[in-house]
Each structure stands twice: as C-alpha cells, then as structure tokens.
Structure 1
Amino acid sequence: MAAEAAQTAEAVEGFRAVHGGDPAGVWAAPGRVNLIGEHTDYNDGFVMPLALPHTARVAADRRDDGALNLYSADVPDGTARLTVDKLAAEREAGLASGGGGGFGGWAAYPAGVVWAMREEGLLPGDGAGADLYVRSDVPVGAGLSSSAALEVATAVALNDLYGLGLSPERIALLCRRAENDFVGVPSGIMDQMASACCTAGHALYLDTRDLTRRQVPLDLAAEGLRLLVVDTRVQHALGDGEYARRRAGCEEAAAALGVRALRDVPYEELDAVPARLADPALLPLVRHVVTENRRVRRVIDLLDAGETRAVGPVLTEGHASLRDDFAVSCPELDLVVETANAAGALGARMTGGGFGGSAIVLVEAAGAESVGAAVTEAFAAAGHRPPRLFEALPSTGARRLDV
C-alpha cells in the first residue's frame, strides 16, 4: 500500500507540473501474465491470465474545449497535443509523416480509447476532452500487455470523469476496438479483459467468445509455490507482422474447415483435419489452437482438484506447441524453458505473443532462487543480455486510486 500511495502522489505531482493544476483523480490498470491459453483469444477460445502488480497510472481531468493533452513520463519528449474531433485525421497525418503528431508510439493507445468512445457516442459533444499524465511500470515489449494497461487505465479514467457507467467488460471491448481499429494491431480480447476484470489472488478463466468468466483462486504461496516471470528483454522486429500472419492463417483454416473459429474444432477430430485442408501449412496452426484450448481446461480441472503442481508439465507441453506448431518462440525463450526445467522447475513456457518477451516458470518456493540463478547464468553463457526476473503475484484489475 505504501508503494501505491507513493505512485499516486507522483502522478498527482506530475500532473500539476505538466498541466498546471490538480487532477480530478488517478486511475490504474495492470499488465498481465497469461498462465495458459496462448493465441486462442482471437480464435474464440479459452484463456487464463492473471493481473500483475505492475500498472499504468493515469492522472486526469476533464476539458470542455475538445483538446486532448497527453503526457508520458516514461518516454523522451512525451507530449502529444491532439484534437478530439480530429483524432482519425491526426493519426493518418502522423503516420504519413513517419509517426509525428503524437502517433507511431505510446500516444496512439490513449488517443484510440477516446476515439472509440466517440465512435460509440459515449462522450458528450465535440467539447469533451481531457488532460492526462501517464506513468507506467509495466515492462514494455515484454509480452505483459503494457499497451492494454495504458488503454484500460485511460478508459476507466474517462468512465469516471464523464460518469459513463461502463462495466469492466464494456471497457475491455472499447479498448480492444481502440487497439484493433485505431492503433491497427489485430489483438484479441484477453489482454484488455485481464486488465479490466482480474481480481487479487485469482486467475481469470475466460471464454473469449461470449466473455463468460470465472475467478479461479490461485494462492501459490500457500502451497509453497512461486510463479516466476522471466523477461528475456528481447523483442524481435518480425513479431508484429508474424502475429498478423498467424491470425490470418487461423481464419483461413477455420473457413476451410467450415467452422466459425478454430475453437469449434473438437480435439477428438484432429486426426481428420489434414484431409480437410488444401494447404498443409495450416495444420500446425489448427493443432496448436485445438490442443491449447484443451490445455486450458486441463489446468482448470487440476486447480479445481487442488493439484497445482501437476500444472507444471502442462505449461511445458504448451511451450512445445507454441515453439513447434505455432512457431512463435525464439532461442532466448527456449533457453529459459530448457534451463528452468533442467534446474528443477515444475514447468515453464513462453507467455504472450512470442518472438521475444517473457516466459513463466512454476517452481517450488524453496528452489526459486536456484532456478532463477541457473537461467541468469545460462543467458550469460550464451552471450545474451541479463534477463529480468520477478514473481507474478495475482493482483487486482483496473481501479481508481485514493488521492
């Protein structure tokens, strides 16, 4: 609580320094780590994320002149001054000029949220604007949803500032629209739902088709376990385009199989899939999504039965599928998984979109330090940058902070 109070005070002081007055409040939304269920959300499948203690904080106040003044304390020259009723045009002009006008980076995410709210008729008139001050400790480029945290923090701030009365689910959907249609990233719904809807001490079991969900108790410490996040500090440039290609391939495969989404392919019918696909390159994508959905359900069953340690091998199995079938891993992520398991971890896998980012490691609490040391030493021996390691503590979702 002391750390949160200090972060809130910093946001208030930052807002005063930048915008010349007091904010109406400070709001926070967390990053997330995904326990199991990767690349299933845009296939209408199942996921199981948990919120991290790392958050994006937004200090904000209303404006009635249609201006959107953004400031990020996390980037050089973090100022973007925009016009609410011209956001789409300003975005296009900025992209055409190589990312100017506040676009091409962080500012597109909060601006996209404002744009999405206006598109859906939620903000009153052309004069509804805002001053925002942003600060985040969610690692960027680590596959921990720093962008979703920023979107959701912006959305909950605007929700309160304008008395919109939006549910966490509606906020998540607005933020996904911002990311898909304004920023141009074809993400699924998991990241925004996790940031908006997770609760402390739980993982979120989410059906991404109808957004039904269940908070699943996850008290690893009580069982003598820890879930480590290993940020490889690697982000391969091919990731964004490859992500879009994987999604397009999944959609092509679903169409060829005559189903709405790959979620609708039964696990028991996987053996019959090759004969139904004209393009054999689509088969590994289908196999990953179908088996990954099954892994999510297996993890739920194990947690419900109190067999948390048995989740470990399912994580490792999921990594093999992401590496071999979906082909979104990289040498650094593979090294984390191989080294951690060899050092005594219960299981490990990459988490997030892939091509870099982070892995998670389920480990006995007594062995966490030695497993972490083994991974760090392996990175040094391979000539990689030292990884960043921290514990994933299931935390609360988006909220207003006490000022």
Structure 2
Amino acid sequence: MPADLAVLGLGHLGLPAAQAASAIGVGTVGYTDDQHTTTELNAGRPPADSTLAAADLRRMLAAGFQATSDPTVLARVRTALICAPTPPAADRRSLDLTGVLDAARTLAPRLRPRTLVVLESTVPPGTTEDLLAPALEAGSGLRAGRDFHLAHAPGRLDPGNRSHDYSGTPRVIGGLTPACTEAAAAFYGRLTDKVVRAKGVKEAETVKVLETNYRHVNIALVNEMAVLCHELGVDLWDVVRCAETKPFGFRSFRPGPGVGGHTPPIDVAPGRLRMVELAQEVNARMPGYVTQRAATLLNEYGKSVRGARLLLLGVTYKPDLPDQQGAPAREIARNLTELGGRLSFHDPYVTQWRVGGQPVPRADSLYEAAAGADLTLLLQHHSVYDLQGLAAKAQLLLDTRGATPAGAAYRL
C-alpha cells in the first residue's frame, strides 16, 4: 500500500497516531532516525515502555504500516504529523524543541505543494508559527499557508484509558489559516469522532498549556493537603472521599509520590505563570517527602534506613502500564540508596530496573519479598496487587497512593 501519511517520531504520540490511521486503511509510514527502533517495529516488537501490544503492531504491519529511517519516503506523502518528543530542557523550566526542529529539517527538502503538516508535539504557544513554519519554508522554498497547509493538534491521548480511546477523544485543531484548519479537520475527522476547531494555531497550542497545567496545579494542591493532613493527624483520604460527593464545583484529584508522564508543567516564560511555577516546586518535593516519611516510619519501629531492606512496588508512572517516563520511583530509590537502604523492587510490567546506573534486584516472589523487607513502599497501584494480602504479609507498608483499605497500612 503506498504511503499517504508519514508520522515523524514513533513514541507515545506517534505510534498511537500511526495505529489509528492504519486501522482505517490509511497507508502509513513511521519515520525515525533510530535504526534499531525501525528494525524492532518492522519485526513486530513494540518498544518495552509502549502501550502498543505486539498484537496491535502485527495488525498495523498487516495493514501496510512500515517504520523507516529513510527520509526519501517523506516525499511521497500528502500528510505529515510531527510527533517528536519535547522533554524538559536543561533549565527544567522550558521544553527542548530540538526534536521538532530536526523533524522539520528532515521533512522540508521533501515537502510538496498542498501537503498537510500537523505538529502534535507539546510546545509553547507560538512555536508552530515562529519556529516550525520558518524551518519548513527555508528547507522547501514553499510558503506555509499558501503552498502547503500547516496546523497544530495538541496531543490528548490518555495512555491506558479504555473509556476514551484515540477515536473517542475529541481533537482540537488550529491552523495557520482557515484553509489550514479545514484541511487538518478533514484529516482528523477520519480518525476521531469529534473535531474542535480553535480560533487559530496559537489558541490550539495554548489548549495544551491549560490542560497540562490544570493537572499539575490540582495535583500540587492535594499533595500539599497530604502533608498538612499528616501534620494535623487528619485522614486525608477520608477528606477526599467526602469532598468528591459534591456534585458541582469540585473535581477529585489524588496525591502521590510525585507527578510522572511525558508532559511537564508548561510555563510560557519564567515567572509568567506563577501558580504553575509553585505547583512544580510542590510536586518536585514529593519524592523527598516520601523518603522522609519512610525514614520516620522505620525510626518509629526502632530501625534505621541504613541497612534496612526496602521493597518498592510499582516503578511506572501510571497503573497497569510499562511506561516509566517521569515516574518518581527512581528519585525515591536514589534518596533511599544514599541513606544506606538495601533496595529491591517489584513491578509486573518492568523486568529490569536501574537507578544511578546500577541494577536494582527484582523480587521474584512478591509475598516472600514483602515479608522479608523491613519496609514496603507502594509507589504505583497496579491492579494485580492484592493490597489486603500484601498488608497482611508486609512487616511495614507505606501506601503512597491511598489504595489500601483503611487501617491496613500507613498511608501518605
């Protein structure tokens, strides 16, 4: 099947897009300059941290999907999605847009008139117009909005969410011109049940800023409440249970050991969004707070972190998924190791785990490991964990997710 769509970047944004397009018969090619990734994908082996199952990938390949590191294939497509990762920059206050620029420079010399280019990567407002458009124009000799369509569609997929899959999640579209918006809307209308047209490309980019920061700010609030309630001797989880019965004006969030995921808080410029800056500080302190709580709990039972056997349960950033991006478990493990703790871990989705370049032993027998550990820390609540049984077996259990029955364990 000839390729009609190119997806540049085969990570948490690109692979789901390629899967959705392949499923409806769109000839799709996935581009990455990582030869190992293309070899693995074409052999039917998805990345270890991907939500894409091997069976899903086999169906994509059977439908004609192909991964490639050959940029010449980009000259034959009518639509190109740029799904490059934009991780936190070195200053931790901005996003690294290197991947977006690299994708643009790869695509530009192969860009044909009337092609639709959509940026899905998380970016600060203005990036599509001020950074991506000039890069594409310089390399192609074409004019964005006149010779080719350019738009932004912020990534919205919630990995592992079975209620809202790719097709069931409305997509926001904002084009450089009204014609660009309509071209992008026509494309995404084939993949999703609902398309929402933004006023323009900057409005579409800013949707992601609002959605992402809404999550981080609200998590920061309940994280601060967790610390306060512990100091006051108040059961936070009962407070949350009661508060979420309010049928209006309140949406329940849960505290935890930190905030993971692929999208960090987005500040358009340092100090411009003061609440976001503060939320980032609050959430960044949580791994240290969990470490402190663990040390205090051991001390209460006459033990020290130094030399203690510590079992960490769940090292991914979301339950029932293998993705470890931004998961707080690694920082907590580093903290406990620096204090002299002897670590092991268990996670049904992770077979090997390294912290500070050193492998952490994996517990094969979960209940035996919990019984032998001086302290077990639940960092991610995977559904396979029988928390009642674990609480009965563990010498001490610190639950950072509030998932254990009341009174069965110490909770954050």
Per the normalisation by structure 2, the TM-score is: 0.26
Per the normalisation by structure 1, the TM-score is: 0.27
Q: Which has the higher contact order (CA 8 A, sep 6+)?
A: 1
